[in-house]
């Protein structure tokens, strides 16, 4: 009789928990709708949509409230960041902030992406192009560059840098080594999840597979929850999801997008496992350059004539002397000798603007070589 009452009490508590969980989900949905309402108002007022100061205030309030309620402040902070990240992700998926740049009269545009289906590169490609596009998957980034250069496709989309892990070296190398031009750019929030077969259990996972960048972007999660797991590399996050789905063991999981997890019939074991704010910048490639548009960026790469003191300073001085704003400066080993570097530079402005042309002409006289990688519309995010 006592056990029966305890069982009834247990079921009653579970029903209350289910009810609370239901209310939480409804409130999250309401929160996302309110954020979208704010976005519409800010757009009409021509205000910046994202407000970092406001987000930090929300997190600080969550921490203080958690202390009052006796909840772990770190948990409250993490939960609030998850809500912010999810809202951003949802807003990008349903209400793109930037305007698509490419229009075509053709029925379909052939675009190369890192495959298979379900990669973040595919998401970036679908964000950028307005028309129905036909996607052609490749296993490596150099293959995408080659397909664009050989005109097997009209465009390619590749990742070039990440807010957590920095630049993608193979992309920079390919920009230097091929004649493919940067035609556009997209910045997307990257939300990783841990996915496995439907009958897999979180605590039984022994092997985790994903793209090297995804493994690096989830380092803290892996270190804290799977310190003994074997980590394996895959050509892409979607390929990792596909290999898990096609495998026969239940102790292996993939780090991928929720889209890829659904696409390959996997169960999500953990969501939003990336180490903090995680955005990736993708570039659109083309054999030819982009026409002049407002808010353009220009990307170049150059090598110095020598390692004399002040050589780089004098080179960059050509931009400073003309008040040209540089948005990125990065060195990359030339692979010719230790200590020899190439320098990748992004700047505001279109390559055919007189002041940009003048700066590049002067720079070309001071450096060993100079290559314009492209002028293109700056992404809004």
> Is pLDDT at 78 greater than 80 in this prediction?
no
pLDDT of residue 345: 96
Work out the mean pLDDT of the chain and round it to a whole number.
85
Judge if 86 and 118 occupy the same domain.
no
Work out the end-to-end distance of the chain between its first and last CA atoms, rounded to an integer number of angstroms. 62
Tally of domains within the chain: 4
| pLDDT-based confidence at residue 130 (cuts at 50, 70, 90) | low
β-partners of residue 328 are 346
Domain CATH code at residue 365 = 3.30.70.260
The residue among 94, 118, 152 that closes a domain is: 94
Tens digit of pLDDT for each residue in 9-63? 888 888 889 889 888 888 887 887 787 778 778 776 766 666 667 777 887 888 8
Catalytic-role residue among 282, 302, 342, 344: 282
pLDDT value of position 103: 52
DSSP strand pairing (193-196 vs 230-233): unpaired
- Whole domain around residue 177: which residue ranges? 109-190+279-286
Cα distance between residue 44 and residue 124, in whole Å: 26
Q: In this structure, what CATH number is given to the domain that contains residue 217?
A: 3.40.190.10
What is the CATH number for 47? 1.20.59.10
More confident residue, 248 or 216: 216
**94 has a pLDDT exceeding 70:** no
Rounded-to-integer distance, Cα 26 and Cα 30, Å: 6
Instruction: State how far the alpha carbon of 151 is from the alpha carbons of 97, 193, 261, 307, 372, in Å.
Output: 30, 35, 32, 38, 20
Sorted by sequence, the CB contacts under 8 Å of residue 120 that are 6+ apart come out as 159, 188, 190, 237, 257, 280
Three-state helix/strand/coil letters over the chain: CHHHHHHHHHHHHHHHHHHHHHHHHHHHHHHHHHHHHHHHHHHHCCCCCCCHHHHHHHHHHHHHHHHHHCCCHHHHHHHHHHHHHHHHHHHHHHCCCCCCCECCCCCCEEEEEECCCCCHHHHHHHHHECCCEEEEEECCHHHHHHHHHCCCCCEEEEEEEECCCEECHHHHHHHHHCCCEEEEEEEEECCCEEEECCCCCHHHCCEEEECHHHHHHCHHHHHHHCCCCEEEECCCHHHHHHHHHHCCCCCEEEEECHHHHHHCCCEEEEECCCCCCCEEEEEEEECCCCCCCCCEEEEEEEEECCCCCCHHHHHHHHHHCCCCCEEEEEEEECCCCCCCEEEEEEEECCCCCHHHHHHHHHHHHHEEEEEEEEEEECCCC
**Is 201 found in the same domain as 140?**
no
Q: Kindly state the tokens that stand for 197.
A: 């077969």
The answer on 88 and 13 residing in a single domain is yes
Strand partners, 19: none
Q: Is the pLDDT of residue 92 over 80?
A: no
CB 280 within 8 A of CB 301: no
Residues in the chain: 381
To the query of whether residue 280 is one of the catalytic residues in this protein, the response is yes
What is the share, in percent, of the chain residues with pLDDT greater than 90? Answer: 44
Contact 371, 298 (CB under 8 A): no
Within a domain: 99: no
Residue 260: inside a domain, yes or no? Answer: yes
pLDDT band at 100 (very low <50, low <70, confident <90, very high): very low
Q: Are residues 180 and 197 in the same domain?
A: no
Clarify whether residues 231 and 177 are in a common domain.
Answer: no
Residue 291 covered by a domain: no
Catalytic residue among 171, 237, 259, 280: 280
The pTM of the full predicted model, rounded to 2 decimals, is 0.68
If asked whether residues 80 and 117 sit together in one domain, one would say no
200 and 212 co-located in one domain? yes
- What's the CA gap between 379 and 98, in Å, rounded? 7
Assess contact for 298 and 326: CB atoms under 8 A: no
For residue 354, give the nearest of 284, 305, 292 by alpha carbon.
Answer: 292
240 and 257 together in one domain = yes
């Amino acid at each position: 009789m006592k056990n029966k009452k305890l069982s009834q009490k247990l079921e009653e508590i579970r029903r209350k928990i289910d009810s609370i969980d239901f209310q939480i989900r409804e409130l999250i949905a309401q929160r996302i709708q309110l954020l979208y309402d704010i976005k519409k108002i800010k757009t009409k007022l021509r205000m910046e949509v994202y407000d970092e100061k406001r987000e930090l205030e929300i997190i600080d309030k969550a921490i203080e409230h958690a202390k009052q309620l006796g909840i772990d402040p770190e948990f409250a902070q993490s939960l609030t960041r998850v809500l912010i990240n999810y809202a951003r992700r949802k807003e990008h998926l349903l209400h793109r902030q930037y305007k698509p740049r490419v229009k075509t009269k053709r029925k379909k545009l052939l675009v190369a992406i890192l495959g298979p289906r379900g990669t973040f590169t595919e998401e970036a490609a679908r964000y950028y192009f307005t028309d129905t596009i036909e996607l052609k998957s490749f296993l490596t980034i150099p293959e995408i560059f080659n397909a664009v250069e050989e005109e097997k496709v009209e465009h390619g989309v590749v990742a070039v840098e990440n807010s957590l892990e920095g630049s993608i070296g193979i992309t920079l190398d390919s920009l230097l080594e091929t004649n493919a031009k940067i035609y556009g750019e997209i910045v997307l929030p990257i939300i990783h999840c841990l996915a496995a077969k439907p009958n897999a259990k979180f605590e039984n996972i022994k092997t985790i597979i994903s793209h090297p960048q995804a493994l690096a972007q989830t380092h803290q999660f892996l270190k804290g929850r799977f310190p003994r797991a074997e980590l394996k590399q895959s050509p892409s996050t979607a390929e990792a999801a596909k290999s898990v789905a096609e495998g026969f063991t239940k102790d292996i999981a993939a780090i991928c997008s929720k889209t890829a997890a659904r696409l390959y019939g996997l169960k999500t074991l953990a969501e939003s496992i990336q180490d903090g704010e995680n955005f990736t910048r993708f570039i659109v490639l083309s054999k030819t350059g982009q026409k002049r548009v407002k808010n353009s960026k220009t990307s170049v790469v150059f090598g110095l004539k020598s390692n004399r003191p002040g050589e780089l300073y004098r080179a960059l001085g050509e931009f400073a002397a003309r008040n040209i704003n540089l948005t990125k400066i990065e060195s990359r080993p030339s692979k010719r000798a230790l200590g020899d570097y190439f320098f990748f530079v992004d700047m505001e402005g279109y390559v055919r603007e007189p002041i940009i042309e003048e700066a590049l002409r002067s720079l070309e006289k001071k450096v060993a070589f100079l290559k314009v990688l492209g002028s293109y519309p700056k992404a809004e995010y």
